[in-house]
Structure 1
């Protein structure tokens, strides 16, 4: 049985192991400003990347920037509704969502949200859009077809990244209460919440929809795996410092934590549990990540940095500034 399992694994991965991952390319984007989430358009072979006040669009077949979506102040996240041929961008400083046409990339309108919309997610089962608003600690529910606000859901804490199963359930990390909150997308209600024991300030979140497991990356340098059915933490694994993103490759059964300190932690299944299968060098600042499930490549944005400025009363813990023109994407693969 063990030999058959190994053969099945090799058939899916082509013999690829966690240690075979590495930075295989870099895509120069340039410009100025910070960054946050990024999203793959699998049908259109494009990558949408948040970058300060705009969204850069990358052609994944050529590895070149091909377009730009402007006027997205404080952009955090991008989500796509393929059935509607629409995209949605959370504009954190403007407290609204920008709707755009997925083919032309032209803006179609704006929808007001709660304060500082951060993560954003389209749920195909309900046809609804959910923004997770960090300052007002709630979720704005929007009908994706009409752009009408349907509800505001109080979350009892500061939401971070989210995941959806496509069957009417959605989960979101709550950073300041160290919890997972579960939502019913059709009813726009909180159905359950459970603690992420051992996790401080959860941010990035990924879902294994087949095994009903959630992967949360935490500020205390751990990845916590929780069982959706029981609401119990079943694994706690060491990762690098400064992770803000995690991706799960369903075909390969691996989770990837992008650590801002300059490493990528690969977590794989090990019997009934999980293990750290590899820790790979990336670049400092590469703290968010997304997966192209078609190519199995991972993308993580970062830049080059200048020296850390002197501390002030307003900024007692200053960060090194990103150097203009150095923004780029790491391509991680075999």
Structure 2
């Protein structure tokens, strides 16, 4: 992902469990990439690529369109009408924006100033609002989707990390340094809960089972936990390899996918509430941390590239940070070819 280094070491992959890399989409181009967002109804995968957003046709694996006009595109959210997209643009690091684009014409419609370092972004359908989180300012800006105007700023206790929206009025925010999750009410624009996540230290990736109202979080101390979205009760799900990246939930097959920078994709299956079994640790490619799952087709998309070092004049820190090699950007398509398992128990015991 943009500005993300990855660990060199890796866990030893478990024996094959039916999942494999089915194909590789060699998309190429320059620049890094942010968190991918899928529109399964339109068969489109949206990928922020620094100065643009690439739109990939998931049937063909080809770039079918681009939205240009960005400086440092980081994260993306889609509205539920299929009309608009919202992108956090770091710009020059001194003044950031949310860019609103038309998903039909692929033109930018509005540029909304939101602070210096906008990063994670979410859309709430129940209020038609957009929430964008600023890492350096420790706040969230609320944008009215009907006017494309910033209407509120919410102060946060520390640097916000990953976020997930339930689409029905609640935004959940990981605070890595405090090992907490905050719940924000999209209607009142207030923090309504603060939940400690023990035994999880340093929550990183977040995803959600919206049916069962469970949030899943990966943690720096190699744990995967489930958090009840109503009570905040946290349950340990599994141990996971070091350096976890994104986590994504397949709601149709009740599967959790966890990526990590060393190139191990961990797949777990839900048997019942808070009971998951580890199916496989699939070796893919190093740096493959950006992940999303297509619950309709049963595919997981994982982005990576070849990495080198910066050769131009730059700081020592940046010079030795792994940097994507131009033209090497690739999305791996992972799926299972094993027979379907029986459905998960719906008991909430």
TM over 0.5: yes
> What is aligned with 2:212?
211
> What is aligned with 1:193?
194
> What is aligned with 1:35?
33
> What is aligned with 2:283?
281
SS at match of 1:72: strand
Q: TM-score, normalised by structure 2?
A: 0.85
> What is aligned with 2:162?
161
> What is aligned with 2:233?
232
SS at match of 1:57: strand
Structure 1 contact 240–261 (Cα < 8 Å) conserved: no
Structure 2 contact 310–319 (Cα < 8 Å) conserved: no
SS at match of 2:317: coil
User: Which of 1 and 2 has higher RCO (CA within 8 Å, sep 6+)?
Assistant: 2
SS at match of 2:224: strand
Residue deviations 1:247-294 (CA, integer Å, cap 9, x gap) = 001111111111111011112224442232221111101111111222
SS at match of 1:55: strand
> What is aligned with 1:147?
148
Structure 1 contact 38–50 (Cα < 8 Å) conserved: yes
Unaligned runs of 5+ residues in structure 2 are 1-15, 337-349
> What is aligned with 1:97?
98
SS at match of 1:27: strand
CA distance in 2, matches of 1:317, 1:103: 39
After TM superposition, where is structure 1 displaced by more than 6 Å over at least 4 residues in a row? none
Structure 1 contact 240–264 (Cα < 8 Å) conserved: no
- Aligned with 2:303 (options 290, 298, 301): 301
CA distance in 2, matches of 1:38, 1:331: 13
Shift in Å, 1:222: 2.2
Matches within 5 A, 1:235-314: 235-272=236-273, 273-306=275-308, 314=316
Structure 1 contact 86–99 (Cα < 8 Å) conserved: yes
Residue deviations 1:110-142 (CA, integer Å, cap 9, x gap) = 011133111111110111011111111111100
CA distance in 1, matches of 2:187, 2:110: 24
Unaligned runs of 5+ residues in structure 1 are 1-17
Matches within 5 A, 1:115-154: 115-154=116-155
Structure 2 contact 310–318 (Cα < 8 Å) conserved: no
Structure 2 contact 266–282 (Cα < 8 Å) conserved: yes
Structure 2 contact 206–246 (Cα < 8 Å) conserved: yes
CA RMSD of aligned residues (A): 2.1
> What is aligned with 1:76?
74
Say how many residue pairs are matched. Answer: 315
Shift in Å, 1:319: 2.7
